[in-house]
Amino acid sequence: MLELLPPPPTDPLWDLTYEYGTDERPERLNLVLGVYRDPTGRTPVMAAVREAEILLAERSESKEYRGLSGNAGFNRALLSMVLGPDGPADRAAAVQTVAGSGALRLLADLICRTRPGTTVWISDPAYVNHRPILEAAGLTVRTYGWRDAEGGFDAESVLRDLGAARRDDVVLLQGCCHNPTGADPAPRDWAALAELAARNGWVPFVDLAYHGLGDGLEADLAPTRMLAARVPEMLVAVSCSKNFGLYSDRTGCAIVIGASARSVRHAETALQNAARTLYSMPPEHGAAVVTTILEDERLRRSWEAELELMRGRIAANRAELTQQLDASGCAVQARALARQKGMFSMLPLTSAQMLLLRRQFAIYGTTSGRINIAGIPPHRIPCLARGIASVLDPAELPRQARLVR
């Protein structure tokens, strides 16, 4: 049987990560994977997470199954955090998932079960896993523009393209800190999107993976809450990987908001059934950690304070890289970078230029130009800026580098 399997494509991000691991140059810099790193290059366990884990270890009495929806306390806590005190909790339900990617897949399966072949619109560019997840669930994928010529959010293109989205189409929107571009809508743009969704009848599908790392937790959640208040139906995939640092614990949830409590109950059962056939039920540890933090006022304050420090470090990295690029003669690129937010930015480099950056300067980003702003050690920012400036100006490169295509 296995001999009949044709060579499948490999994952480009993990291929680059493997290449980085085999690179013996001591100055190599990994800006590929979307993980937060402190100034020493570590991805630390957050203090509130560590304390919650100690409390859980002391209280642990059983590891009995939690059920198809996972940890009920976690689901309540995430619903409360995402929708806020005035949100439509009476017509919403949450199901714990295997991280944000698991939430995306469960919700994609729900869409397909409800209306097979539904068209889902994603941004161009989009998170690298959006299209594969949606197409694997049997959905049709179309794209809408996202960036303007200088790398910022292009409201005109987005509204024009989504004007073609039909009633009952689904539009996938990233709630904040757009991956891979770092370009986000302004509040007035979010309001225009909500108005368009309500008028034309398409369903918002919000991917919420970086809340707290853009403009702050409440500000980053505001667009999702505003959409939930203005449309009858909405889907939300939530990840706890970045803002709780629970990458390997695979902690997330799928939220459905419906026009009635009855429709939401049916959707919740459909999500449970989908989970049963995929992995039965999600892992408990990360969900228990998040629940412990969000239900304990002192731990929640500690978590929010550390999250704000992380956000400040990312913003400081972006500001310093902007300044260094400007000083290196890359004023246009610096202006674009300054307009972006969150963990990622898209460099205005071709795949060939990103290859040069990797070969000549040992700086690893994706071939599309995405780099992880949160992964730059502060002392390496001048080197990164010089590398970017050099590949933008071939005259600055050695002759053998200019021959690379």
| pLDDT at position 58 | 94
Domains of the chain, earliest start first: 11-44+312-402 (3.90.1150.10), 65-295 (3.40.640.10)
pTM assigned to the model: 0.93
- How many CB atoms are located within 10 Å of the residue 331 CB? 11
Rounded CA gap, 45 and 23, in Å? 27
Using CA atoms, how far apart are residues 325 and 18, in angstroms rounded to an integer? 29
Coil, strand or helix: which one is 257?
Answer: strand
d(CA 333, CA 392): 10
pLDDT in 10s for each residue of the chain, 405 residues: 888 899 888 888 889 999 999 999 999 999 999 999 999 989 999 999 999 999 999 998 889 999 999 999 999 999 999 999 999 989 999 999 999 999 999 999 999 999 999 999 999 999 999 999 999 999 999 999 999 988 899 999 999 999 999 999 999 999 999 999 999 999 999 999 999 999 999 999 999 999 999 999 999 999 999 999 999 999 999 999 999 999 999 999 999 999 999 999 999 999 999 999 999 999 999 999 999 999 999 999 999 999 999 999 999 999 999 999 999 999 888 988 999 999 999 988 899 999 999 999 999 999 999 999 999 999 999 999 999 999 987 655 554 444 333
Query: Using an 8 Å Cβ cutoff, are 74 and 96 in contact?
Result: yes
| pLDDT of 399 | 43
Give first-to-last CA distance, the chain, whole Å: 39
Name the residue with tokens 């990233």.
Answer: 174
Between CA 138 and CA 141 the distance in angstroms is 9
Q: With contact defined as beta carbons under 8 Å apart, do 41 and 379 qualify?
A: no
Q: What is the pLDDT at residue 398?
A: 52
d(CA 370, CA 55): 38
Tokens 């990312």 belong to residue: 314
Query: DSSP secondary-structure letter at 375?
Result: G
